[in-house]
Structure 1
Amino acid sequence: MTVLAAVFAALAAVLHVWIFVMESLRWEHPSTRRTFQMTADEAAATREMAYNQGFYNLFLAVVTVVGLVLLATDQTDAGRALVFAGCGSMLAAAVVLVARSPERLRAAVAQGTMPLLAVGLLALSIAV
């Protein structure tokens, strides 16, 4: 169970690094604007906010990866805590996204499924 949880946590981290790239480095690129359904003017107006938000996503990925490294080096309690913190925050952000903007359900599912599986499987691995 822990191995499967780690796989989903790693995939969630990779996705959040990609979100960082889109939000902080490629925000005004046409493909990113299409992904986030924005006009060029909207992207320009929100560039600073997106840059900052991208770093939040990067930091969640970093916390998760550090947790995975600790899990792999037998520092299980600290590793679990960091994976729970990173993936739990990713999952919470997905819930907030869909709660605030129900039309963004698809994005919330994409953002939250892997963290949900990681958190759920990690919790199950502790319970058994």
Structure 2
Amino acid sequence: MHVYIFVMESITWTSARTRATFGTSAQEAAATKEMAFNQGFYNLFLAIVAGVSIVLSATGSTAVGAALIFAGAGSMVAATLVLFVSSPDKRSAALKQGVIPAFAVIALLGALRR
């Protein structure tokens, strides 16, 4: 999901399809292009952290993998909560971006309690 968001924010931000997804006009997209480009990279880096954490956890580096899962997925959940609370009209988008990372954090907590 976060790689897809990266593509939309950093590569296709001004396209008609991406503008429709985010509900922006051509003028708004042009005015916010630099901000979206930067924000897209935040999403990409979070996705990379999550991916590396899964690989590390699967190959036996449990402590480092768990720490990265908490950092990456936890940041995604925190951003979801900020969007959910601050922009009631974007709650659907917040849930779409935050449900899977929330499940990852919950699953990790359950696994570590064993």
User: What is the TM-score of this pair, normalised by structure 1?
Assistant: 0.88
Q: Percent identity?
A: 54
Structure 2 CA distance for aligned equivalents of residues 44 and 22 of structure 1: 14
CA root-mean-square deviation: 0.6
Higher relative contact order (CA 8 A, sep 6+): 1
State the partner residue of 1:3: none
Work out the number of aligned pairs and report it.
Answer: 114
Q: Aligned pair 1:92/2:82, yes or no?
A: no
SS in 2 for 1:108: helix
Structure 1: 4+ residue segments shifted above 2 A: none
Structure 2 CA distance for aligned equivalents of residues 55 and 71 of structure 1: 24
State the partner residue of 2:69: 83
Structure 2 CA distance for aligned equivalents of residues 125 and 76 of structure 1: 11
Structure 2 CA distance for aligned equivalents of residues 116 and 98 of structure 1: 14
Structure 2 CA distance for aligned equivalents of residues 78 and 58 of structure 1: 20
User: Which whole-Å deviations, capped at 9, do the CAs of 1:25-65 have from their partners, x for residues lacking one?
Assistant: 00001000000000000000000000000000000001111
Gaps spanning 5+ residues in structure 2: where? none
| Letter of the 1:120 counterpart | I
Structure 1 CA distance for aligned equivalents of residues 27 and 20 of structure 2: 13
| Letter of the 1:34 counterpart | A
**1:1-128 alignment, distance < 5 Å:** 15-128=1-114
